[in-house]
Structure 1
Amino acid sequence: MWRWIMAAVMGLVTLCVLRASVLAGSLDIGDAAALGSLDSTAETQISAKADELDYDREKGVLEARGHVVIRRGTDELRADYVRVDMKTHDAIAVGNVVLVRPKATWRGDNLAYNFKTRVASCDRFRVDFSPFQVEAKAMPTAAADRYTIEDAFVTTCTNPMAHAHYKVRASRLDLVPGSYFEAHGALVYLGDVPVFYLPYWYRNLREDIGYRFYPGYSSKMGAFLLNTVRYRINPILRGETSLDLRSRRGLAGGQAFKWNDPEGAWLGEVRGYYAEDQEPMDENDDPALENISSGRYRFFLKHGASFSANDYILVQSEYVSDRDFREDFFEDEFRESRQPDNYAVYTWRDDAFAFNALVRGRLNDFYPAVQRLPELSFEFARQQIMDLPFYYEGATAAAFLDRVEPKEPEPDPANEYSAFRFDSAHMVYYPGRYFDFLSLIPRAGYRATFYSKTRGQETALVTRTGTVTNYQVDASGHTNMFETPFTDTLTVTNDVEAGAKLRNRFEVGLEASYRAFSVWDAGGVPMRHVIEPYANYTLVPEPNLDENAIYKFDEVDKLGEEHKLRLGARNKWQVKDQDRARDLADADVYTTLRFHRPEGEALIRDISAEGELTPVSGVYVRFDGTLNVDAGGVDVFNVRTELKPDEWIHFAGEYRFRKDDFSQVSADCTISPNHEWAFNGYGRYSIEESRLEEVGGYAQKSLDCLAFRLGAGFLPGYTTTAGAQRDDEVRVIFGMWLTAFPHGKLLGRYTQ
């Protein structure tokens, strides 16, 4: 009897404990345990948390109330009340409903959702799939990866839909989160004002997809409208189609295809652009030198691929219709490089060795070039020779070189030549440390350069015969003419092509350096100064092959006798900032004593310096310069300063000077008084010519989802060194883009 009473009591206690654990608000229910027909894996297990939980194991029904959180796999359902049928996986959620899935978040007052099929339906709701939000009265059905929504509003604004700066209302919206959506019967609103209607609107949700347009004006191009549509063809290939209208120059269009490996192993692009130019030549072009037709174009190809962690290939090719095309239609690229670069290179590299196979040439014959057809090179990083105390460094290159001049005007044959060159340089070092502070590194090396052709001189005696006409006045005042025969001999020297020769170049040298530092306290702030004086002595006897006998392709062919000593000191000033050393200044000051030098030059010709300054956070200064102590004055001086004390202002100023060449100052400043407005101004002034080269700026208004920019620039007219007159040029451009897609904004000041 007592045994049965004790069993009943224990059963009642167990039931109370189980009930209490459910009311405590945490319950994990494996599907197999609940239904006996599903796998009890982590992906199929449902976990529930709430203020109150009630699970009827017999019916397989879970009810949760108050701060409910239901999770299964990657799905999470939150609401005030949720009822889950564990047999069908159907869930009914009511009150402050939030359904979180990997690519979208749904919000509404009620929701019917199946955790197994992941199909949802609900009344009034909002869905967030970054960067878009959709709001609709009802969603009849939503499959696992595709949603069909009736009478929907779409926007990227973060404000409530009723206060969105722009929105699109669609009669039907087909949505695949993270991929694309299709809107049918789309009406676009700015605020509450409808502005235009689109029967069909497709939007890829990737940043590089969509339509961009840039209206503007340039006195050189007239009013223009630049249009670009970007689209994805498949996961690795996307396209870009351009159609540009310029009132003075006419219609132009382009097509581009870009590809990339999702794993990052390769990427590339091919682009074409054609312009039916109504004014291909301006008044300064010489028709005798440049015959530019109205049909102007270019083709561009670039591809890069990595085959492993050690090797890769790069290919670039560009062909243009005329030498002015890039300057007229792609000014940003022209400023970076005056002429196209065509090459293909394969590189294999590790920590000790590198191999390069390069082909470089020109495709347009109106550019000068040094073609390498091909060039193979090997580079050996400085490395220890077995267990010896010696280190080796070397480089070897073999190339077929061809120097060509522009086809027009007629090139000088003396400036066009070709040769095979084999160049191999080797250096051995013996580093050592002495007296616990002094580093000495003596070195010795040899460089052999073989030329299949060299330049020689031929002397010849030329005999000339002829007559000299003389005039004589006789006593009567009459002028008589008579001729006198002559014969003379002249010595004439001509440049001729000589045979193959080998240039031998030997080098010895010594590097010496040591490092010292001092530490002091500056008002409670630890400071440190590190100084590293150094000296580098170099002796190269005169090579056996005279420099004038070598065809000049690059710097290798200009190497000759050297005897010099470079003296310098690297300085670094540091401050301790949060237990780390922060550089305040880093500067290198040096000069060279040239023991072998042209007659009349001083032993010390110049003193140079270069370095960086970061005195406080947000201030950066970089400089380099050369002081000519022989002739007096500065030969080169460049300084660039950037100020960014906070997120509201950014200033960059630069001064560039080269004696007898240029002296130029430029500045660019952007001020953002708040998150909505930004103002920019920039300018460039030539001190050498006392001429303003360029000035401009823009004003930008940014809303939470839209940004507007109006920019303008002015390039004053001037007279070129050749005497041609350039007219004033005015440029104005307007841009508007969604802030959620920053790649859609202006990439340059005037053109995309």
Structure 2
Amino acid sequence: MNKPPWIYLLAIFFLAFSPALLAEDETQIVIEPLHPSSESELIGSVESGVWIGTNGVVVRYGTNAVLVADSISLNDKSGEVAAEGGVSLQSEGRLWRGESLIYNFKTKEMRADTFRVGLHPFYAFGQGLTASQTNQTYSATNAFITTDDLADPSYKIRMKSLKVIPGKSIEAEGATVYLGKVPVMFFPHYSRRLDAHPSKFLLTPGYRSLYGPFLLGSYNWYSNTNLNSAFNLDYRQKRGVGVGPDMDYTLGRWGQGSASLYYLHDEQPGIDPNNRPIRDDRHRFNFSHRASLLTNLTAKVVVREQSDAQMIRDFFESEYRGNPQPKSLFEVNQLWPNYSLNVLGQAQLNDFSQTVERLPDVKLTAFQQQLGASPFYYEGENSVGYLRFQPAEGSVTNHYAAFRADSFHQIILPQTLFGWLNVTPRVGGRLTHYGETEGTGTSFAERDRGVFNTGAEVSLKASRIWGGVRSKFWEINELRHIIQPSINYVFVPSPSRSPRELPQFDTEIPSLRLLPIEFPDYNAIDSIDSQNVLRLTLRNKVQTKRKGEVDNFANWALYTDWRLAPRRDQGRFADLFSELDLRPWSWLTLSSEVRYDVEAEQVNYANHQATLQPNDVWSVSLGHLYFKDNPVFGPDSGNNLIRSSIYYRFNENWGARMTHHFEARDGVLEEQYYTIYRDLRNWTAALTLRFRDRRTEPDDITVAVTFSLKAFPRFGLGKDRDKHWLLLGS
């Protein structure tokens, strides 16, 4: 018998307010038609608590579960529902589908003849499903799992029995792996972790002129929640076989860390930059551990040891580009609200790497803090340690060591005048004691050095908003201009001893940026000399609203040093630095870094980049890097490099990228990358060809194929765009 729509409203009213429908936690079961029409029926009794619905029904259990089916039979007192036809159940973040289902909203018990469910990143389907709330497991027979979300997956694993612990694991007996409809592998027992990346093989086949044909292989497995391991087995036709394990571990309150060991008997080791033969037994050992021993008490150990300086250059290119001279250290740090105590130990484990050993170096730092109720603030640093300078093997530099104790204290008086002008005067002093030096080529006796410093920083920040400015062309919705000028004056009279009278451990390191001028940011303790300088800085920022968020239309910083009393090795003005970022449109980014020598009227450094990315189909990036030769950075340190990168996605399955590095000084195309991407539904593949012109050495040519499972990607999104060499497997 057809029922008018008001019958459904009346039923919903009784269902919503009847005490018989309230569970112990007062969650309500509500029934309603999926598409109210004259064909739908809902029959039931509030007293009996039994309801029958046909022709499309929705059952809701608060916000915990929603069931949709063609027909249902519900006992709202027990919470059990029997559903038939196009059944869909959404519960606990999972979506179950089938043709018939028995489910209890209160106990979460479940039974189904057939089912299909998503258990990220897997999909499972099969027969004979049961769910038990007691042990939080789902069981099924004759089931399949895959990461392919299509009706006919390209690969799947068929199992005689399947047990799923949501969010934790999948276990199966009698598992057969299918590619399409073809069985290719059988496992008596099969298991996969859902709370961590699963065990997997990573293979990178290819060819490199330095290696010959190669196959880089790694098997990653996950023993438990505290240990992830991998075993690397690499074959390079010209160089031999390389092996070694990797592991990441967690020890609970005792911290976490990683370790890796790699060994290769190199059949063609070659020679090093000093024309000395490289040993054929080559290895690399890395270890790091970090632990929070107590509240705000941390300890860190880093060990980087390798057989020769070229080991990571030859076989771990990504690691070498990130840090060509890794350090080993031990560090313990205790942090308090106003102080920190740091113990640093550092030793020379690689004799080919110049190192300042700290055996150890202990530092107590006082953070900037108010002195009682006064307007004055205090900050300071106190350190003591035994330091040893160890030159690299074969260097003509002498090694030496000395005890050093350093104490720095500074008083600051921050003020705001007129409500907008920030003035921060400061005055401080430093006393450093050096013990008698030990070693060859140095004969410094025990001595002390005193340093006085004073100065002040003056700055302000002003802004203005133009609320009526609109432009569709420029994607502008209101404008805000922020300007921040500042002047920082530093005066340091000549110390009681000049740097040449002291053993040098912590010295100025050549940099493309201006070094800090005020203490304690300037930390080249042994290189402190006189200063009478003004650092002039002007920052401008123009912001607008795009897509509901604040976006920087322009961000520009200018800064330089005006030396009122320059030393013999200094000019009146330091280089003028300009850093500019522009986003005239959301799809165009322009960046510029320039270092201009004011007195010589020449550019010492320039780095420009333009990136166009109007959509996800194509993007273009063009850049230019210029660096004037500077002996401080080593011989032949100059660059005049032009960079380009073009990406185009032909369709959903194919894409390509080209990247070029052209050195204009001698007209050499130094590096070329050509990559073709292929979407394989569950996998992505990349075929990469690289040419490297090494000038005085034979060209380096590499071809490699990398695969990545979408469910467990090998690289982070966009990593191959910024670090092309990742696609070569090294």
Q: 2:581 aligns with which of 600, 612, 615?
A: 612
User: Does structure 1 residue 662 correspond to structure 2 residue 638?
Assistant: yes
Amino acid corresponding to residue 262 of structure 2 in structure 1:
Y
How do residues 48-197 of structure 1 correspond to structure 2 at under 5 angstroms? 48-51=30-33, 54=43, 61-65=50-54, 66-69=56-59, 71=61, 74=64, 76-84=66-74, 91-102=81-92, 104-113=94-103, 118-136=108-126, 138-139=127-128, 141-144=130-133, 145-161=136-152, 164-184=153-173, 186-190=175-179, 192=180, 194=182, 196-197=184-185
CA distance in 2, matches of 1:23, 1:272: 67
- Preserved contact between residue 586 and residue 612 of structure 1 (Cα < 8 Å): yes
Shift of 1:699: 1.6
CA distance in 1, matches of 2:539, 2:210: 50
Amino acid corresponding to residue 256 of structure 1 in structure 2:
D
Mean CA deviation greater in 175-184 or 52-61: 52-61
**Structure 1 716/178 Cα, relative in aligned 2: closer, same or farther at 3 Å?**
same
Mean CA deviation greater in 94-103 or 320-329: 94-103
- Preserved contact between residue 115 and residue 129 of structure 2 (Cα < 8 Å): no
Q: 2:454 aligns with which of 508, 513, 525?
A: 508
The residue that corresponds to 1:463 in the other structure is none
Amino acid corresponding to residue 160 of structure 1 in structure 2:
A
Shift of 1:563: 2.0
**Structure 1 436/113 Cα, relative in aligned 2: closer, same or farther at 3 Å?**
closer
CA distance in 2, matches of 1:677, 1:729: 27
**Structure 1 87/662 Cα, relative in aligned 2: closer, same or farther at 3 Å?**
same
Q: 1:292 aligns with which of 271, 279, 304?
A: 279
- Preserved contact between residue 290 and residue 300 of structure 2 (Cα < 8 Å): yes
1:698-728 deviations in whole A, cap 9, x for unaligned? 1212254332222221112322xxxxxx221
Shift of 1:506: 0.8
How do residues 149-298 of structure 1 correspond to structure 2 at under 5 angstroms? 149-161=140-152, 164-184=153-173, 186-190=175-179, 192=180, 194=182, 196-200=184-188, 201-211=190-200, 212-260=202-250, 266-279=255-268, 281-282=269-270, 289-294=276-281, 296-298=282-284
Amino acid corresponding to residue 154 of structure 1 in structure 2:
I
CA distance in 2, matches of 1:530, 1:115: 57
Shift of 1:633: 1.2
Q: 2:683 aligns with which of 702, 706, 709?
A: 706
Mean CA deviation greater in 590-599 or 140-149: 140-149
- Preserved contact between residue 333 and residue 340 of structure 2 (Cα < 8 Å): yes
CA distance in 1, matches of 2:240, 2:435: 52
CA distance in 1, matches of 2:294, 2:89: 43
Q: 1:734 aligns with which of 680, 694, 705?
A: 705
Normalising by the residue count of structure 1, what TM-score does the alignment of the two structures yield?
0.80
- Preserved contact between residue 103 and residue 177 of structure 1 (Cα < 8 Å): no
Amino acid corresponding to residue 313 of structure 2 in structure 1:
E
1:502-538 deviations in whole A, cap 9, x for unaligned? 1111112233344556666767775454444433332
CA distance in 1, matches of 2:92, 2:9: 34
Instruction: Tell me the matched-pair count.
Output: 675
SS at match of 2:216: strand
**Structure 1 97/529 Cα, relative in aligned 2: closer, same or farther at 3 Å?**
closer
Highest CA radius of gyration, 1 or 2?
Answer: 1
Shift of 1:335: 1.0
- Preserved contact between residue 103 and residue 178 of structure 1 (Cα < 8 Å): no
CA distance in 1, matches of 2:105, 2:420: 72
The residue that corresponds to 1:26 in the other structure is 15
The residue that corresponds to 2:349 in the other structure is 363
The residue that corresponds to 1:544 in the other structure is 496
Mean CA deviation greater in 52-61 or 166-175: 52-61
CA distance in 1, matches of 2:241, 2:438: 51
User: Does structure 1 residue 678 correspond to structure 2 residue 655?
Assistant: yes
User: Does structure 1 residue 750 correspond to structure 2 residue 725?
Assistant: no
1:258-313 deviations in whole A, cap 9, x for unaligned? 12478x9943222222234333x1266778x444133x322222222335664433
CA distance in 2, matches of 1:728, 1:335: 19
SS at match of 1:548: helix
**Structure 1 21/430 Cα, relative in aligned 2: closer, same or farther at 3 Å?**
same
SS at match of 1:124: strand
Amino acid corresponding to residue 230 of structure 2 in structure 1:
E
How do residues 474-493 of structure 1 correspond to structure 2 at under 5 angstroms? none
The residue that corresponds to 1:477 in the other structure is none
User: Does structure 1 residue 336 correspond to structure 2 residue 336?
Assistant: no
SS at match of 1:597: coil
- Preserved contact between residue 454 and residue 501 of structure 1 (Cα < 8 Å): no
CA distance in 2, matches of 1:233, 1:165: 28
The residue that corresponds to 2:632 in the other structure is none
**Structure 1 80/261 Cα, relative in aligned 2: closer, same or farther at 3 Å?**
farther
The residue that corresponds to 1:487 in the other structure is none
RMSD (Å), alpha carbons: 3.7
Q: 1:419 aligns with which of 402, 407, 410?
A: 402
- Preserved contact between residue 679 and residue 697 of structure 1 (Cα < 8 Å): yes
CA distance in 2, matches of 1:132, 1:518: 53
1:162-220 deviations in whole A, cap 9, x for unaligned? xx333334444443333333455555444x45272233543333452231222222222
Unaligned runs of 5+ in 2: 1-5, 34-40, 507-523, 630-636, 721-725
Q: 1:389 aligns with which of 362, 370, 375?
A: 375
Shift of 1:62: 4.7
How do residues 511-660 of structure 1 correspond to structure 2 at under 5 angstroms? 511-515=457-461, 526-554=478-506, 555-575=524-544, 582-599=551-568, 602-604=571-573, 606-660=575-629
The residue that corresponds to 1:472 in the other structure is none
Unaligned runs of 5+ in 1: 1-16, 457-493, 720-725
1:414-463 deviations in whole A, cap 9, x for unaligned? 5211112222222222334445654433322111121113599xxxxxxx
Shift of 1:103: 6.2
1:646-703 deviations in whole A, cap 9, x for unaligned? 3334444443333212213333343335443332222223334432221113121225
1:348-393 deviations in whole A, cap 9, x for unaligned? 3455433322222222223221111212223333333222232323
- Preserved contact between residue 207 and residue 743 of structure 1 (Cα < 8 Å): no
CA distance in 2, matches of 1:58, 1:581: 59
Amino acid corresponding to residue 303 of structure 1 in structure 2:
H
Shift of 1:222: 2.3
CA distance in 1, matches of 2:361, 2:451: 22
1:626-645 deviations in whole A, cap 9, x for unaligned? 21222331122233444433
Amino acid corresponding to residue 429 of structure 1 in structure 2:
I
- Preserved contact between residue 129 and residue 138 of structure 2 (Cα < 8 Å): no
SS at match of 2:728: coil
Normalising by the residue count of structure 2, what TM-score does the alignment of the two structures yield?
0.82
Identical-residue share of aligned pairs (%):
28
Q: 1:429 aligns with which of 405, 408, 412?
A: 412
CA distance in 2, matches of 1:205, 1:744: 19
Mean CA deviation greater in 70-79 or 312-321: 70-79
User: Does structure 1 residue 323 correspond to structure 2 residue 309?
Assistant: yes
The residue that corresponds to 1:452 in the other structure is 435
CA distance in 2, matches of 1:19, 1:562: 87
Amino acid corresponding to residue 210 of structure 2 in structure 1:
K
Shift of 1:72: 8.6
Amino acid corresponding to residue 219 of structure 1 in structure 2:
S
- Preserved contact between residue 513 and residue 534 of structure 1 (Cα < 8 Å): yes
Amino acid corresponding to residue 390 of structure 1 in structure 2:
F
- Preserved contact between residue 12 and residue 30 of structure 2 (Cα < 8 Å): no
CA distance in 2, matches of 1:577, 1:57: 55
**Structure 1 134/363 Cα, relative in aligned 2: closer, same or farther at 3 Å?**
same
CA distance in 2, matches of 1:316, 1:543: 36
- Preserved contact between residue 705 and residue 727 of structure 2 (Cα < 8 Å): no
- Preserved contact between residue 676 and residue 686 of structure 2 (Cα < 8 Å): yes
